Amino acid sequence: QDRLENKTPLINENLKKCLSTKDGRLVASLILDFLQVFSLDFSLAVFQPEINSLNGLDGRDLVCRELGLSESELNRNSPVLLELVRRSRQKDEPSVIN
């Protein structure tokens, strides 16, 4: 029980620290974009208040720019995060796994 008491504030501290960095905000913005693209309205309604970062999240256009992705290349029906994962896999694994 001691450990639990120590853990909870630490975790919130972690999230706060993460969201205070540029990359951390970018990550949260990518998740937001995913939820918006697929109209996951219930998740949106909970995620935004839970991370408590209504102020700091970037829009899709800014996210694309920061990742060096051209927004025009991206399908409006496809989350930016999917493109990021695709690019990342292409670079790192020349069809090694599966």
Query: Shortest Cβ distance from residue 69 to its own copies (Å)?
Result: 9
Which of these, 94, 29, 37, lies nearest to 65 by C-alpha position? 29
- Closer CB to its own copies, residue 2 or residue 42? 42
- Closer CB to its own copies, residue 2 or residue 92? 92
What lies within 8 Å, CB to CB, of 78 at 6+ separation is 37
Interface ranges with its own copies (CB under 8 A): 8, 11, 14-15, 18, 22-24, 26-27, 30-31, 34, 37-40, 42-43, 45-47, 50-51, 65-68, 77-79, 81-82, 84-89, 91-93, 97-98
- Closer CB to its own copies, residue 2 or residue 96? 96
Half-sphere exposure of 94 (CA within 13 A, CB side): 0
Query: Shortest Cβ distance from residue 11 to its own copies (Å)?
Result: 5
What lies within 8 Å, CB to CB, of 61 at 6+ separation is 71
